[in-house]
A = this chain, B = another copy of it.
Amino acid sequence: MTRVLIIQTPVKVVKRLFCDILRNMIIGIDLGGTKILTALADSKGRMISSVQVDTQAALGPEKVIANIIKSISLVAKQAGIPLSRVSRVGIGAPGPILGRAIIVSPPNLPGWVNVNIKSILHRKLKKKIYVENDANAAALGELLFGAGKGFRNLVYITLSTGIGGGIIIKGKPYTGSIGTAGEVGHMVIDQKGPKCGCGNRGCLEALASGPAIAKMAGRKNALEAELAARRGNKRAQKAINTAAKYIGIGIANINNILNPDIFVIGGGVSNMGRLLLDPVKSWARKYSMEASRKSLIIVPAKLKGNAGVMGAIAVCLKGDE
C-alpha cells in the first residue's frame, strides 16, 4: 500500500507539470484596421510563428472576429502545435478599451460599438483572454522585450497618422479610471493652434502628427517631407524641427507630471530617426523642470512592426492586476 502511494505521487506530479508545460503556449493578436497580425509564443513570450490576414474591417465586426479566429487556427497549424496547448490569448485593439474588455468605437473599425471582445473570444476559444489598448500593449511589449527592458515606469508614444500613448506604472499597464488613459496626442500645447480632429485646437496631434508635418512641409506625406529635408530643403527641415519642438514640449509636460523612468518613441514617423529624435530630445530637456530634467531618458522603440503583437503577448504575461 505504502509502495503504491510512493509510486503514484511522482507520476501524478510529473503528469501535472507536463500538462502545464504543454498548455503554456500564448497567442498574441495585433488587431489593426487593415491587417490582423497573430503570433504564437512559448511561456516566456518567445515568438514561434506568426501569420498575417486581412482585417476586412468594412465587412463589420462578425467578419473581423471570424478572421481573428481564422488567424489563430492558421498560426497554430503553421507552428504544428494543437490549439489545446494554448492557455492564453492576448489582443491589442485600437481606441479606448473599457474595463479591459470592451472595444468602444475605433474610427478604423466601422460598426464596432461597445463590442465585448473579451467575452466573445472567451466563448469561442475557451481560453483566458486579455484585451488591451494597442498603445498600452506596445508599451508593455517595449518594457518586456524591447527598448524599456529593466525599467518600471515607462511612457510609450506612437507618432503616426495620429499620436497616441501607453503608460506603464510599476511594471503594469496603467489604464485609468475607465480605461482611457494614455491619450497624449490630445494634450493641448498651443491653445490658439490649429484645429484638431477631436474638435479642440492646438492638440499635440494637430501640431506634430505625420499629416501635420506633411502640411507644414508642403509635401504629400511625412516620408516625402523627410526625404526633402534630407536633400536640404529648408521648408521641410523647418517643418520637422517645429514638429520636434511640439513633441518635445509634450514629452516635457508628461515628464513634469509623471516623471517616468523612460520614454520610448515608436510609430511610422519615428522612423525618421535622429533627424526627428535629436531635436525632440533637446526641446524635451529645455521644457522639463530642472529636477526632472536630470532623469529624462528618450529612446526609439525597438520592436517596430512587431510592437503590437509582442505587446499582445506581453499582456498575457503581465496584464493581470
Residues of A within 8 A of B (CB): 95-96, 104, 153, 165, 167, 169, 174-184, 186-192, 198, 200, 246, 249, 252-254, 256-261, 286-287, 289, 291-292, 294-295
Contact = CB atoms under 8 A, between A and B. Distances in A.
Given A180-B292, A257-B182, A286 B200 contact: yes
Given A188-B189, A191-B190, A287-B200, A259 B177 contact: yes
A180 B289 contact: yes
A165 B257 contact: yes
A16 B181 CA distance: 46
A253 B177 contact: no
Contacts of A287: 188, 200
B183 A256 contact: yes
Contacts of A254: 257
Nearest to A253: B187
A178 B288 CA distance: 14
A143 to B, nearest CB: 14
Given A200-B286, A294-B178, A257 B169 contact: no
A256 B95 CA distance: 13
A253 B188 contact: yes
Contact of A259 (B104, B178, B289): B178
A287 to B, nearest CB: 6
A180 B286 contact: no
Given A169-B174, A177-B295, A192-B192, A257 B259 contact: no
B186 A256 contact: yes
A243 to B, nearest CB: 13
A305 to B, nearest CB: 26
B188 A191 contact: no
A254 B167 CA distance: 13
Contacts of A252: 188
Contacts of A174: 169, 258
A182 B253 CA distance: 10
A295 B178 contact: yes
